[in-house]
Amino acid sequence: MKTLYDKIWDSHIVVPETDAPAILYIDLHLIHEVTTPQAFTGLRKRGLKVRRSDKTFATMDHSIPTSSRSLSGFDDMAANQVRTLAANCAEFGVLLFDLNSPKQGIVHVIGPELGLTQPGRTIVCGDSHTSTHGAFGALAHGIGTSEVEMVLATQCLLQRKSKNFLVKFDGRLQPGVTAKDMVLALIGKIGTGGGTGCVFEFAGSAIRALDMDARMTICNMSIEGGARAGLVAPDDRTFEYLAGREFAPKAKDWDDALARWKQLPSDEAAHFDKTVTIDVSALEPMITYGTNPAMSIPISGRVPKPENEADAAALKYMALEPGQALAGHPIDVVFIGSCTNSRLSDLRSAARVIRGRKVSRGVRMLVVPGSYEVKRQAEAEGLDRIFKEAGAEWREAGCSMCIAMNGDAVPSGKVSVSTSNRNFEGRQGKGARTLLASPLTAAASAIEGRVADPRRFGAGL
């Protein structure tokens, strides 16, 4: 009796775990400009090649501009880092989706989009939100730069097995409540360290009902609950999503893959070390009020009393008072984007709220598609016009204000409602005050100029 995680783990063992960690084979290695230069330097020093350049794919996302596709006049250090990636990929024979490529985008958005992310695969990237790819039933997690070098050199990772943690979401979501709200509720319940040492498996009727974009939103934030990875068992939706994508198997290979993938779901009596169950039927849109993603409340709720010094410090940083309602709290910036919520369905849901309305005076709203392809599709549907007519900025694909490395930042002391995944102090810029929420809540807040409950904008959400 095995879990999905057990099955993927077992089928990738090159050398089993003993006193030493297991040597685990890696099927797909995604790389980007920020966490790889030192790894390539290490490889060069050792006189090694990239062992499987055919399993290694690169893109540029973290530090690139989103105002245009050109690096001219851009931050010298960031531009240097981007050029270093291009040079390394050329030297080591790694396929790179650069700023001119229609396949460029946030690494966790393009992997699935290109069909590189497949059920049963082991996937790593020097980025903690690699957990996103788990939505396809792949074992995917972030690694450090030393490990990037290790995988480049050997296509393997030294790894100890984690524990199995079952997260069951039952019930039916109410209109206006989304996958983002589900995962914020989970992290609020178990805390930012609740999943430490574990791999989540997300299951239950409410997960089955979600489309692939929404499943990615949930898996994306596994790391914010302390887990290394989060998985959803593949099903017909997964297969439908992948069919025909560029790097997905074709013809007979597809049939073979499908037969393998159908074996992946956890056996019914498989053992989980931990289990938590959440009924989503009564869930409201969630929003964070503090400086880690566990500090969240339902949108109709009030900021709780601090339980310790750290909580008190967080409220001080956020300039919020205990007992205060968040709905109605004035905001300055709205960011729709990041590997959590920048896919087509996210932009569509924000556009449903924005359509025919105006972004409140004094609010800066940035809409940053997760990939060039998402941007193209959104424009084909006219979503860009909806945003622009409302007064929002429509940008090129990249990480942008999620990490504020490229100049897209929230000014110090200003309040942002963001669809990204981290509200850490300074994450969106020094002194920035971040409230994490769904695209619906972010869009509703942009219209009102205050934190707003998206359910007020009608049932069609």
What is the residue whose two structure tokens read 């990037």?
148
Helix (H) or strand (E) holding 312: helix 309-318
Task: Tell me: does residue 36 bind ligand SF4 (CB under 6 A).
Answer: no
Among 349, 134, 347, 114, residue whose Cα is nearest residue 241 = 114
Task: Tell me: does residue 127 bind other proteins (CB under 8 A).
Answer: yes
Judge contact between 57 and 29, C-beta under 8 A.
Answer: yes
Strands (E), 342-439: 364-367, 393-394, 415-418, 433-436
Separation between Cα atoms, residue 248 and residue 115, nearest integer Å: 5
Residue 156 binds what, of ligand SF4, other proteins, none (CB under 5 to 8 Å, by partner type)?
other proteins
In the complex, minimum distance from the CB of residue 96 to other proteins, in angstroms, rounded to a whole number:
16
Residue 150 binds what, of ligand SF4, other proteins, none (CB under 5 to 8 Å, by partner type)?
other proteins
For 426, other C-beta atoms within 10 Å of its C-beta total 15
In the complex, minimum distance from the CB of residue 108 to ligand SF4, in angstroms, rounded to a whole number:
6
User: Within 13 Å of residue 448, how many CA atoms lie on the same side as its CB?
Assistant: 19
Judge contact between 126 and 148, C-beta under 8 A.
Answer: yes
Stretch that binds ligand SF4, among 67-75, 255-263, 268-276, 397-405 (CB under 6 A): 397-405
Among 362, 339, 325, residue whose Cα is nearest residue 451 = 325
Positions in 295-334 near other proteins (CB under 8 A)? 308-310, 313
What is the residue whose two structure tokens read 């914010």?
224
Stretch that binds other proteins, among 207-215, 221-229, 251-259, 361-369 (CB under 8 A): 221-229
Stretch that binds ligand SF4, among 3-11, 162-170, 194-202, 399-407 (CB under 6 A): 399-407
Determine which residue in the list 162, 421, 423, 441 makes contact with ligand SF4, applying CB under 6 A.
421
Judge contact between 238 and 211, C-beta under 8 A.
Answer: no
Among 342, 334, 344, residue whose Cα is nearest residue 383 = 344
In the complex, minimum distance from the CB of residue 418 to ligand SF4, in angstroms, rounded to a whole number:
10
For 7, other C-beta atoms within 10 Å of its C-beta total 19
* Cross-strand pairs, 156: 25
User: 384-423 mask for other proteins (x: CB under 8 A)?
Assistant: -------------------xxx----------------x-
In the complex, minimum distance from the CB of residue 192 to other proteins, in angstroms, rounded to a whole number:
6
Task: Enumerate binding residues for other proteins (CB under 8 A).
Answer: 14-15, 19-21, 23, 25, 34-35, 37-38, 41, 46, 62-63, 75, 77-78, 80-81, 84, 126-128, 142-147, 149-150, 153-156, 158, 160, 192-193, 196-197, 223, 226, 228, 292, 308-310, 313, 403-405, 422, 424-427, 430
Task: Enumerate binding residues for ligand SF4 (CB under 6 A).
Answer: 61-62, 106, 108, 127, 129, 338-339, 399, 402-403, 420-421
